[in-house]
Structure 1
Amino acid sequence: MSSEAKRRIRELMELYCRAWDRADIELALSIWHPDGTAQYLTEPVRDVRTMIPERLSARRATQVVTSHQVTNAVIAVEGDRAVSEAYGTAWQQQPGENGAIMQIHFFSRYLDSWSCRDGRWGLDHRRVLLDGHSVSSFEPLPALQAATGLGRMGPDDPSYAHLASLKAVG
């Protein structure tokens, strides 16, 4: 059971990245239990049912593109409870001054508390620690200009149709 629990928790960590990059509120909320909480950086602990819609709506309004990854996950499971630490990197582009685009690269860690309720693993609490960040300007390579930005936030991203195509096959 422990290896299956770890596999599911790891999958939920990866779905978190997808939810954040696509600004998918429903997917993001599905990772937590309904009474879940989160503390990002130095902010107070918040109810995710309020925090996630606020953050992801703001992300759609202010971010050009984001890319989150989670790595080096250490997961400990005991019965129907688990804790984990995972390293996260996030790369974001957003409008800067005078029409420029700035890039921000974050190095963080997620300290998570999980539980399995009614056979479903979900987050009870996430604490996000920022280990470092950098900011730079973005200048796309001319040869890649046409291919840059094909991904987008929301259900218009090509991944939604791609993942749904499996349902049409059977």
Structure 2
Amino acid sequence: MTEAQLAQEFDLAAEVRDLAARRDIAEAAHRYMRGLDRLDAALQRRAFHDDAVVDCGLMQGTVDEFVAFCQDFLGTMEATHHLLGQHRIEVSGETARGEAYFQAWHGVREEGGGVRDLFVAGRYLDEYACRNGEWRITARLLVTDWVKDDPGSLDFFAANPGVVRGGRRGTDPSQIGARS
């Protein structure tokens, strides 16, 4: 094999490792978001390494404290829907840094029984590490870019009782029958 062929083969291997890292980091982000919306603490927790630290503005602490906070806080809401946007990742060996845009809808029940639509949009500024072959988050800073709080309505669901709705804590149609 020529020197040029060896260099090309090496570059291809490096590119495959980079692409695999990006895929695995994106999967960690997906586990996190799904864990929030389905109120699945174990799934949310699997996005982070054990020594991870998180600052979401409303609390700062260890990953276990953060997961408990999220599950309790979001559990008081009727439903949530978190959506990832563009995700920029810079891989450097076994570590990486990234910025992921998000938008999150929160169905909030008012004290008087009414509902509100609370939208939060921002970015996750994350640090990642690959340990034991698994990419996960080691540090997260949640940056809030905008918030919108509007009166909500459940009229659509009342008028369409046959609509399949998302569920939480194991009741979502995607989780029934061991689909997850």
* 1:23 aligned residue (24, 35, 39): 39
Q: What is the match of residue 126 of structure 2?
A: 112
Name the CA distance, whole Å, in 2 between partners of 1:120 and 1:127: 21
Q: Deviations over 1:1-31 (max 9, x none)?
A: 0011001111211221100001111011111
Q: What is the match of residue 61 of structure 2?
A: 46
Give the number of the structure with larger relative contact order, counting CA–CA contacts within 8 Å between residues 6 or more apart.
1
* 1:44 CA drift (Å): 5.2
**Contact 1:23–1:57 (8 Å) recurs in 2:** no
Q: What is the match of residue 48 of structure 2?
A: 32
Aligned residue pairs total 163
Question: Which amino acid in the other structure matches residue 121 of structure 2?
Answer: F
* Cα 1:95/1:44, change in 2 over 3 Å: closer
1:12 pairs with 2:28: yes
Q: What is the match of residue 161 of structure 1?
A: 176
**Contact 1:14–1:69 (8 Å) recurs in 2:** no
Structure 2: state its 5+ residue gaps. 1-16
1:57 pairs with 2:77: no
Question: Which amino acid in the other structure matches residue 67 of structure 1?
Answer: H
State the secondary structure of the residue aligned to 2:154: coil
Aligned CA-pair RMSD: 1.9
Question: Which amino acid in the other structure matches residue 47 of structure 1?
Answer: T
State the secondary structure of the residue aligned to 1:159: coil
Question: Which amino acid in the other structure matches residue 121 of structure 1?
Answer: W
Identity %: 26
Q: Structure 2 length as normaliser, TM-score?
A: 0.83
Q: Deviations over 1:78-103 (max 9, x none)?
A: 10000000100000001114210011
* 1:149 CA drift (Å): 7.2
Range that drifts further, 106-115 or 141-150? 141-150
Name the CA distance, whole Å, in 2 between partners of 1:149 and 1:35: 39
Q: Deviations over 1:40-86 (max 9, x none)?
A: 02x453101122123203322x1000000111100000100000001
State the secondary structure of the residue aligned to 1:109: strand
State the secondary structure of the residue aligned to 1:7: helix
Name the CA distance, whole Å, in 2 between partners of 1:112 and 1:45: 14
